[in-house]
Structure 1
Amino acid sequence: MIVDLPDTSTMEISKKLVSMRNTGGEVTVGRVLTLLVDTDADTDAEGPVAASNDASREHPCRIIVVTRGDRRESTRLDSQIRVGGDAGASEVVVLELHGELADHAEAVVVPFLLPDTPVVTWWPGWAPDLPAADPLGRLASRRITDARGAEDPAGFLAARRTGYTAGDTDLAWSATTPWREMLASAVDRPPHMPITSAHVQGPASSPSIDLIGGWLVHALGVPVTRGVGNWEVRLDRTDGPLQMTVDEIGGVLRSPGHPDGRAPFHPRTTAECLTEELRRLDADVVYRAALQGLSGVRRAD
């Protein structure tokens, strides 16, 4: 069910939410968090809403989507409420802020935060250099950005590194989870030969391969180079290279003295990455270490 409320107020939206729950059986019992989705003018909100709805099936929540209209318009609040089949296992409140209201999103969303539950803020497109200091970021214990769509992924990650605060994370990081799991498993297999260096390779615009490089710098303490080309991670050992690549089935792992290993993973969707990030609300110290390790990754000539 979708209900539009043009030129409205926070009080009217709250009343309508209560009315829709009373008549349609929608309740907030079991909601485990409030997810704030802060979209900019260049981001179509429907994609993030769909990903949030999918993630809500594992993490029932109230989704509050903030969009901003023209600041030159008269001050006005338009809203849309989605429940039932149009909202996954959540309820979605879309808030479109016009005029001066666009600069005061935090004041508009506060009445809709679920009491006694954590708040997570997600920027699916543009993100502030210091998410923890952003007005919507200050409301949250967990702050999620997404470097994968940035025009300058390296600069985007550099801002994440210098502006990091406990609770920050990025979907480009959760996109690397299958790679990191497979690599960690391979390194744990005997024989445990010393790793002398590492090489990571992927599309020039991929922040995920950059983060894998930073993670390896931190975890292994060896020189890491970053190249451009097909997806590959190579760990150089004294007995020969341990190499991970990707084919049409998934990950392929090759190392001396072992048969090829395979893992049937696929590029993770935004919904899958978001679902993973909502599983934990504490500080991701490994992500922070990967960001710090970026300064030790050398670009291949």
Structure 2
Amino acid sequence: MNIDLTNTTSSKINKALVQGRRAIGSPAVGMVLTLVVVTDEENAYDALKAASEASREHPSRTLVVIKRGSRSPRDRIQSRLDADVRVGADAGTGETVVLRLYGDVVNHAQSVVLPLLLPDAPVVVWWPVNAPLEPARDPLGMLAQRRVTDTYAAESPIDELSARAEAYTPGDTDLAWTRVTPWRSMLAAALDQVVCTVTGAEVEGEEFNPSVELLAMWLADRLAVPVQRLISPGPGLTAVRMETDCGPIVLHRTDGALAQLCIQGQPDRAVALQRRGTAELIAEELRRLDPDDTYESALRYGVDRLTEVTGSQLLPDGDTPAPDEGGTATQPPAKSTTKKTAKAPAKKADAK
């Protein structure tokens, strides 16, 4: 059931929600959280589709906030709020309200959203694109227990990742981090199968891909070993190699779907490592509403060490060794590497 409201108010939207529930014969509210999606008109359809699919696992009230420019000089004086209220089959397993803000009300979106939040339920704010540099200080972000961004959608993902580290507040997370959850789980499980000490690691993936950078920082943080960042054509993450005193452990994926796990002394195994859609990523983030300490640790580890150099090694003190004799670099010039060295080696990496 859809109810279109033009030039409306939050009070009228709440009444429309009650009216819609009664019309479909479901007066009770069985939703577990409020998901606020802040996006633009161009990306609203994809974001709403992902949120609707995620609501099958987490029934929620979804509020899609679309900030529109003024249609005419008159709109600059008279602010307007339009709403599309969806309940029943049109809203997944919860309720959906698409809010379009015009005029000065664009700068006061939190005043529109606040009366529509479910009482005594957690609030999650998700920015599919154009996320603020400090989500916790954003007026809408201040309403939420969890704030979800996506650095992959930024113009400069690596710079955005560094900004996220500087502005991190407990409750922040990023879909670039969520994308590497299967990789972290697989690598941690691989280390559980052997008794050895990890002495170094290599992470290979697309250039300027924040997920690849985060996985490299996580390994360096958890294992306290040098981690080398290599560039490949992709898609996304393509390989991780961990050097141990028992032989190498390699997880290699070239097609974005099926990976091969190679452990010294064991037969090679094919493992499913499918690249996941946005709906699956959002559903995973909604499973936990407490601060992600592992993400924070990995993010802060790499904030001042996220430097790509060609054919050289970056040490903790900032000194960069010269190439080998004869002008030969330590790595092929076509590949950029980032090496991080910590104090002492560890054995295992914990998954999220």
Q: TM-score, normalised by structure 2?
A: 0.81
User: Which residue among 133, 143, 155 is the counterpart of 1:129?
Assistant: 133
Q: Which residue of 2 aligns with 1:234?
A: 241
User: Which residue among 264, 272, 277 is the counterpart of 1:269?
Assistant: 277
Q: Which residue of 2 aligns with 1:147?
A: 151
Q: Which residue of 1 aligns with 2:308?
A: 299
How far did residue 299 of structure 1 move? 2.7
1:124-273 to structure 2, matched below 5 A, reads 124-190=128-194, 192-229=195-232, 230=234, 231-248=238-255, 249-273=257-281
C-alpha separation in 2, matches of 1:169 and 1:50: 21
2:17–2:87 contact (8 Å) kept in structure 1:
no
1:225–1:299 contact (8 Å) kept in structure 2:
no
For the pair shown, the structure with the greater C-alpha radius of gyration is 2
How far did residue 6 of structure 1 move? 1.6
Segments of 5+ residues of structure 2 without an aligned counterpart are: 311-352
C-alpha separation in 1, matches of 2:18 and 2:162: 44
Instruction: Name the aligned partner's letter for residue 179 of structure 1.
Output: W
Instruction: Name the aligned partner's letter for residue 147 of structure 1.
Output: T
Segments of 5+ residues of structure 1 without an aligned counterpart are: none
Instruction: Name the aligned partner's letter for residue 248 of structure 2.
Output: P
1:38–1:67 contact (8 Å) kept in structure 2:
yes
What's the CA shift string for 1:26-59, capped at 9, x where partnerless? 4452210001111146x42111111111111111
C-alpha separation in 2, matches of 1:247 and 1:85: 39
1:21-170 to structure 2, matched below 5 A, reads 21-27=21-27, 29-40=29-40, 43-71=42-70, 73-74=75-76, 75-170=79-174
1:213–1:293 contact (8 Å) kept in structure 2:
no
Instruction: Name the aligned partner's letter for residue 69 of structure 1.
Output: R
Identity %: 45
1:82–1:91 contact (8 Å) kept in structure 2:
yes
1:67–1:94 contact (8 Å) kept in structure 2:
yes
C-alpha separation in 2, matches of 1:209 and 1:287: 14
Aligned residues: 299
Runs of 4+ in 1 over 3 A off after TM superposition: 295-298
Give the secondary structure class of the aligned counterpart of 2:50.
helix
1:200–1:227 contact (8 Å) kept in structure 2:
yes
Q: Which residue of 1 aligns with 2:333?
A: none
1:137–1:143 contact (8 Å) kept in structure 2:
yes
What's the CA shift string for 1:56-115, capped at 9, x where partnerless? 111111000100111563311111011222211111011111000000000001110000
Give me the CA root mean square deviation: 1.6
1:227–1:299 contact (8 Å) kept in structure 2:
no
2:40–2:68 contact (8 Å) kept in structure 1:
no
Give the secondary structure class of the aligned counterpart of 1:59.
coil
1:213–1:297 contact (8 Å) kept in structure 2:
no
Instruction: Name the aligned partner's letter for residue 60 of structure 1.
Output: P
Instruction: Name the aligned partner's letter for residue 36 of structure 2.
Output: L
C-alpha separation in 1, matches of 2:43 and 2:90: 17
C-alpha separation in 2, matches of 1:217 and 1:299: 15
Instruction: Name the aligned partner's letter for residue 68 of structure 1.
Output: K
